[in-house]
Amino acid sequence: MEFSILSDTFDKMTRTQSRLELTALLVEAIKKTPKPLVSRVAYLVQGKLYPDFLGIEIGMAEKTVSKAIERAYGVESTAIQKLMRKTGDLGDVAAEISTQKVQQSLSSEKLTVEKVYSTLEEIAKTTGSGSANIRMNKLGSLLNSATNLEAKFLVRFVTGKLRLGVADFTVLDALAVAFTEDKKNRTKLEKAYNLTNDLGFVADTLANKGMKAIEKVKVTAGKPVRPMLAERMESEDEIIEKMNHDAAAEYKLDGERVQAHKTSDGNLVLFSRRLEQITHQYMDVVEALKSAAFKEFIVEGEVVAIDKSGKYRPFQELMHRRRKHGINQAMKDYPVVINLFDILLLEGRALIDEHYDERRKSLEDFLQKTKSKDRAMLVPARRVKDSSEIDSLMQESLSAGCEGLVVKDPKSSYTAGARGFAWIKFKPEYRPNVRDTIDLVIVGANHGMGRRAGFYGAYLLAAYDQEEDMFKTTTKVGTGFSDADLEKISKIIEKYRLPEKSPRVDAKVTSEVWFEPKVVIEIIASEITLSPIYTAGLDAVRQDSGLALRFPKFTGKIRDDKSPEDATTVAELLEMYQSQVRQFKSEKQEVQKV
């Protein structure tokens, strides 16, 4: 398959703001792709070579890429710098230089997707000393045969700036249409994706084995399962009602969610809430779980820092483990335990369709046969039948240093990748009148002034609209940031800067700078109001009005454990708004009674 088919598609994609058009372009490209290449195309359109959980990134430095351009086209570095100042994008620079190529191309061979992918794979796998030169030469050889459009997208790809605005769900939509002519099949593809977290695998299975094989996709040790998530509720009464007066209430521990996979070759890998590999951070947890007498399993739990007496410590203590060097000392100074709350696979048997009660039994059995009892344990849980029992467990949980409870339906299976009422989280701050935190995605910013000059001063934030797979704006926030926060966030966000609004962002307001929706921050607000300038929940409560936050303030927490799709959803904001209205009405009634 000629690579130009992809680079032409990429070019058209960069020119559209419409998600429907993006999907249509993808469908067209997938239909032109030979079946054995479909998985590679599924990764390439997202600027990847592999699923994220393998943690292999190509990440070439702009300096190395500039050198490759210099050599491939026989130009001076000053010419590149000059163009760079003009366009600000190394991909555009490569495209422009390749059109006025000084050096005649050594090869007139056309680039193919196979060739591009395998060379990029070689680049990704070449590491260690002396690797920069080899990587540069390999990229140079591709540039040498590339057309100007191909050069532009190759350069953007290797520098991690492809950014076509193609979300996972857009690819799933496109696959459904391309292979089954029916967008509704996306639900089945999504299920397979939720179980494997691997778009290339789903694409390959669909293309080469069909829908039947998609329906048979199972959880597999080594491929992270998208986590089951909880809805929130505000009172014990509401919760016990929803659970039909029989529920399993567990402590909600304040730590880091971890999914541990042991594969039959004896390897044990830990995945974060975002399903990235974090094995090296918690080698003590790895050791503890390796002491379980099983060959293959997937278990899930919350890793929590503890003090010498085994008491839980706050979430912030885990920050000491987020480092590359000195991890052995950090393990000694900041010990942790894993508190298991679920088991998804044991010795080749998928457990996700079994009821909570059965999974909990399997988990107990698992821990009985685990030697390291002080590092791996069960999350404290109790059966509750009325609201007073929930209340008393809540008091216990809070005094043990936890955040609250997760109340679970004993008859529920594990629904990967879904937020639902089979798990209900309950924290003291969910009670009405107490301000709750909201996790929102940075999509834009204005430059700071005065003391904030040089950084961004206010951020435009969006909630995630799950139905449309878009980010909808809901507030601008400029308070709550220390100088250090502003500096840190400005630095993190800079690499996601875009020349214009991302096609995944829906906004009516303008912004001086736009960003790819990537970074999630935690906000506290006094109230949710209606506003004509924001697009979250537009028309849901009132025609032409969206949901906005009143007095928003940054809490100091950058939620790097959350991907943008894990941010607070528009549906959740709407629920919060409605609960505010209910609260207001009942207060009014109270006043009238008095």
Catalytic sites, residue numbers = 252
For 35, phi then psi, to 5°, come to: -50, -45
| C-beta of residue 358 within 8 angstroms of C-beta of residue 366 | no
Q: Is 163 in the site for ligand ATP (CB under 6 A)?
A: no
Q: How far is the CB of 229 from ligand ATP (least distance, A)?
A: 3
Q: How far apart are CA 468 and CA 471, in angstroms?
A: 9
Show the DSSP H helices in 280-405 as ranges.
283-290, 327-333, 356-368, 387-399
Q: Considering only residues 248, 286, 379, 547, which one is a binding residue for ligand ATP as defined by CB under 6 A?
A: 379
Residues 512-541 that bind ligand ATP (CB under 6 A): none
| Closer to ligand ATP by Cβ: residue 160 or 417 | 417
Show the DSSP H helices in 210-355 as ranges.
211-215, 236-242, 283-290, 327-333
Q: Is 252 in the site for ligand ATP (CB under 6 A)?
A: yes
Q: How far is the CB of 230 from ligand ATP (least distance, A)?
A: 4
| C-beta of residue 423 within 8 angstroms of C-beta of residue 286 | no
Which of helix, strand or coil describes residue 211? helix
Q: How far apart are CA 228 and CA 84, in angstroms?
A: 45
Q: How far is the CB of 410 from ligand ATP (least distance, A)?
A: 14
Angle at 506 (CA atoms; ends 504, 512), nearest 5 degrees:
95
Site string for ligand ATP, 557-586 (x = CB under 6 A): ---------x--------------------
Q: Is 253 in the site for ligand ATP (CB under 6 A)?
A: yes
| Closer to ligand ATP by Cβ: residue 115 or 518 | 518
Q: Is 488 in the site for ligand ATP (CB under 6 A)?
A: no
The angle, 0 to 180 degrees and rounded to 10, between the axes of the packed helices 148-158 and 131-144 is 160
Show the DSSP H helices in 400-554 as ranges.
483-494
Count the neighbouring beta carbons within 10 Å of the beta carbon of residue 355: 15
| C-beta of residue 567 within 8 angstroms of C-beta of residue 520 | yes
Using alpha carbons, select from 68, 53, 67 the residue that is nearest to residue 119.
68
| Closer to ligand ATP by Cβ: residue 56 or 418 | 418
Q: Considering only residues 229, 350, 367, 513, which one is a binding residue for ligand ATP as defined by CB under 6 A?
A: 229
Which region among 178-186, 248-256, 388-396, 486-494 touches ligand ATP (by CB under 6 A)?
Answer: 248-256
Angle at 547 (CA atoms; ends 184, 482), nearest 5 degrees:
115
| Closer to ligand ATP by Cβ: residue 135 or 252 | 252
Using alpha carbons, select from 262, 251, 252, 190 the residue that is nearest to residue 221.
262
Q: How far apart are CA 346 and CA 349, in angstroms?
A: 5
Q: How far apart are CA 553 and CA 565, in angstroms?
A: 21
| Closer to ligand ATP by Cβ: residue 75 or 270 | 270
Q: How far is the CB of 170 from ligand ATP (least distance, A)?
A: 23
Which region among 208-216, 236-244, 246-254, 584-592 touches ligand ATP (by CB under 6 A)?
Answer: 246-254
| Closer to ligand ATP by Cβ: residue 272 or 475 | 272
Residue carrying structure tokens 């790819």: 516
Which region among 250-258, 260-268, 345-353, 390-398 touches ligand ATP (by CB under 6 A)?
Answer: 250-258
| Closer to ligand ATP by Cβ: residue 43 or 251 | 251
| Closer to ligand ATP by Cβ: residue 168 or 250 | 250
Which region among 50-58, 71-79, 244-252, 497-505 touches ligand ATP (by CB under 6 A)?
Answer: 244-252
Q: Is 250 in the site for ligand ATP (CB under 6 A)?
A: yes
Give the pairing of strands 497-498 and 229-232: unpaired
Which region among 168-176, 213-221, 249-257, 462-470 touches ligand ATP (by CB under 6 A)?
Answer: 249-257
Tokens of 340: 């298991």
Residues 271-300 that bind ligand ATP (CB under 6 A): 273
Site string for ligand ATP, 439-478 (x = CB under 6 A): ----------------------------------------
Residues 401-420 that bind ligand ATP (CB under 6 A): 406
Q: How far apart are CA 383 and CA 362, in angstroms?
A: 17
Q: Is 192 in the site for ligand ATP (CB under 6 A)?
A: no
Using alpha carbons, select from 41, 39, 44, 64 the residue that is nearest to residue 126.
64
Q: How far is the CB of 44 from ligand ATP (least distance, A)?
A: 30
Residue 302 is classified by DSSP as E
Q: How far apart are CA 260 and CA 272, in angstroms?
A: 9
Q: Is 230 in the site for ligand ATP (CB under 6 A)?
A: yes
Residue carrying structure tokens 């399903």: 275
Residues 318-377 that bind ligand ATP (CB under 6 A): 341
Q: Considering only residues 12, 425, 447, 518, which one is a binding residue for ligand ATP as defined by CB under 6 A?
A: 425
Q: How far is the CB of 27 from ligand ATP (least distance, A)?
A: 32
Which region among 76-84, 251-259, 354-362, 542-550 touches ligand ATP (by CB under 6 A)?
Answer: 251-259
Buried b (16+ CB within 10 A) or exposed e, 1-38: bebbbbbbbbbebbeeeebeebbbbbbbbbeebeeebb
Q: Is 38 in the site for ligand ATP (CB under 6 A)?
A: no
Instruction: Enumerate residues 6+ apart whose C-beta is below 8 A from 123.
Output: 58, 60, 135, 138, 139, 158
| Closer to ligand ATP by Cβ: residue 27 or 393 | 393
Q: Is 234 in the site for ligand ATP (CB under 6 A)?
A: no
Q: Considering only residues 71, 218, 242, 257, which one is a binding residue for ligand ATP as defined by CB under 6 A?
A: 257
Q: How far is the CB of 252 from ligand ATP (least distance, A)?
A: 4
| Closer to ligand ATP by Cβ: residue 117 or 414 | 414
Q: Which residues bind ligand ATP (CB under 6 A)?
A: 229-230, 250-253, 257, 273, 302, 341, 379, 406, 425, 566
